[in-house]
């Protein structure tokens, strides 16, 4: 077994900006660092699900893209929820709750927060599907073009909606701070990938733009969706709506193979040309962080590196034990 390859895989990191913090993830664990209102940094470190180890089929091409997308969405929502609880800790709530709040409290009791979080996640998914999948499909049917170009019109509308959405939400001061943490996350990962010490000065000198960013992934998704529905032409508005939902796993799988498994691990002219639009989009979704935000990002990355290193040490120890067993087995066979 090539231990060097195994170790490199364990140190392949990604991340996400959260409320007043950054979440970093490796292959076996994730760590999140959040700045409390008092100024202290709180960290959360947990192992990741091992579904892909128990079910090897989830590592197959195309399938692994769907698995990665679902796990990233679930982890991202959990991290956002946890970070909000930490970042807004101590903020007083309204003394006089509304009738709806009283009813929900009586109905769900201590589980109300969990219920509301899952409701918010489901609502966000529905809105996203409607805004970025169904609305463009509907608008595409209104433009008088040939069936072959309907997919192009739909794809262009989808990109325009996405860019407009990013532009609108970026006007919020809270979102601007999230974008600063997004930039800090990228800087820290780039600094680590350059094998530089994770000092504030080294991290600050790195770029806010990273080719494995989720923003770039979203643009790849939109382009692949456009190409797919140029080929797959379906008449009837309801069938078109159904196809956009049912083919999402295929779109996610293809996008993952292109954006993460290929472009994310290569560096040549073709790759740079493909990721160029996504890098431009990142200028809207990232911003220069201050030193305090960089400190938070570095804390999260150092914590997950520490966890992954411990995981690697355990794996290396097991491999060494196996290698030691092989000569003993061979010797016993010879003695027979």
User: Would you give the distance in Å from CA 131 to the centre of its chain?
Assistant: 20
Determine the 3-state secondary structure of 36 from DSSP: coil
| SS3 track for 79-144 | HHHHHHHHHCCCCCCCCCCCHHHHHHHHHHHHHHHHHHHHHHHHHHHHHHHHHHHHHHHHHHHHCC
Question: What's the pLDDT at 326?
Answer: 47
Rounded to the nearest 10 degrees, the angle between the axes of helix 63-87 and helix 248-256 is: 90
Q: Which uninterrupted H or E stretch holds 157? A: helix 147-169
226 Cβ contact partners less than 8 Å away, ≥ 6 residues apart: 151, 152, 154, 155, 156, 158
Closest C-alpha among 58, 6, 10, 56 to residue 256: 58
Q: Token pair for residue 306?
A: 């520490």
Question: What's the pLDDT at 8?
Answer: 42
Q: How many other CB atoms are found less than 10 A from the CB of residue 323? A: 10
User: What dihedral do alpha carbons 158, 17, 90, 110 form, nearest 10°?
Assistant: 70
Where do the domains of the chain lie?
3-89+114-306
Q: Does the model's pTM come out above 0.95?
A: no
Helices H / strands E in the chain, number of each: 14, 4
**What gap in Å lies between CA 182 and CA 174, rounded to an integer?**
13
Question: What's the pLDDT at 225?
Answer: 92
DSSP string, 164-233: HHHHHHTTSHHHHHHHHHHHHHHHHHHHHHTT----HHHHHHS-S--TT-HHHHHHHHHHHHHHHHHHS-
Query: Tens digit of pLDDT per residue, the chain (336 long)?
Result: 444 434 444 457 999 999 999 999 988 889 999 999 999 999 999 988 767 778 888 888 889 889 888 888 889 998 998 998 898 876 655 556 667 667 777 777 777 777 887 888 889 899 999 999 999 999 998 998 888 788 899 999 999 999 999 999 999 999 999 999 999 999 999 999 999 999 999 999 999 999 889 888 898 999 999 999 988 888 889 999 999 999 999 999 999 988 887 776 677 787 788 888 889 999 999 999 999 999 999 999 999 999 887 655 565 455 555 555 544 444 444 444
**What gap in Å lies between CA 50 and CA 58, rounded to an integer?**
11
Half-sphere exposure of 332 (CA within 13 A, CB side): 5
Answer yes or no: are the C-beta atoms of 319 and 2 closer than 8 Å.
no
Question: What's the pLDDT at 6?
Answer: 42
Alpha-carbon separation of residue 176 from 41, 183, 333 (angstroms):
20, 11, 67
Question: What's the pLDDT at 262?
Answer: 79
Q: Are strands 14-18 and 41-47 parallel, antiparallel or unpaired?
A: unpaired
Question: What's the pLDDT at 25?
Answer: 93
User: What dihedral do alpha carbons 152, 155, 157, 158 form, nearest 10°?
Assistant: 180
Question: What's the pLDDT at 177?
Answer: 95
The DSSP letter of residue 20 is T
Q: How many other CB atoms are found less than 10 A from the CB of residue 72? A: 15
3-state helix vs strand vs coil in the chain, percent to 5? 70, 5, 20
Sign of CA pseudo-dihedral 101, 105, 110, 116: negative
């Amino acid at each position: 077994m090539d231990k060097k390859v195994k170790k490199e895989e364990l140190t392949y990191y990604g991340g996400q900006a959260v409320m007043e913090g950054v979440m970093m993830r490796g292959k076996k664990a994730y760590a999140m660092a959040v700045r409390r209102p008092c100024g202290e940094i709180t960290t959360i470190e947990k192992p990741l699900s091992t579904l892909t180890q128990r079910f090897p089929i989830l590592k197959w091409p195309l399938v692994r893209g769907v698995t990665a997308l679902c796990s990233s969405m679930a982890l991202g929502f959990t991290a956002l929820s946890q970070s909000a609880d930490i970042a807004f800790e101590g903020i007083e709530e309204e003394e006089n709750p509304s009738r709806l709040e009283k009813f929900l409290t009586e109905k769900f009791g201590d589980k109300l927060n969990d219920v509301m979080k899952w409701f918010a996640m489901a609502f966000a998914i529905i809105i996203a599907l409607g805004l970025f999948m169904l609305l463009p499909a509907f608008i595409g049917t209104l433009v008088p073009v040939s069936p072959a170009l309907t997919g192009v019109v739909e794809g262009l509308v989808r990109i325009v909606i996405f860019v407009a959405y990013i532009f609108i939400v970026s006007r919020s001061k809270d979102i601007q701070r999230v974008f600063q943490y997004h930039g800090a996350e990228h800087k820290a990962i780039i600094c680590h990938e350059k094998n530089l010490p994770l000092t504030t000065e080294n991290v600050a000198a790195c770029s806010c733009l990273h080719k494995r960013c989720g923003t770039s992934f979203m643009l790849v998704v939109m382009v692949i969706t456009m190409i797919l529905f140029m080929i797959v032409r379906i008449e009837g508005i309801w069938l078109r709506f159904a196809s956009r939902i049912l083919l999402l796993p295929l779109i996610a799988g293809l996008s993952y193979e292109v954006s993460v498994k290929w472009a994310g691990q290569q560096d040549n002219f073709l790759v740079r040309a493909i990721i160029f639009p996504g890098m431009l989009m990142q200028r809207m979704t990232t911003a220069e962080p201050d030193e305090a935000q960089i400190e938070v990002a570095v804390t999260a990355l150092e914590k997950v590196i520490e966890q992954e290193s411990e995981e690697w040490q355990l794996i290396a120890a097991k491999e060494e034990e196996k290698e030691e067993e092989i000569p003993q087995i061979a010797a016993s066979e010879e003695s027979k």
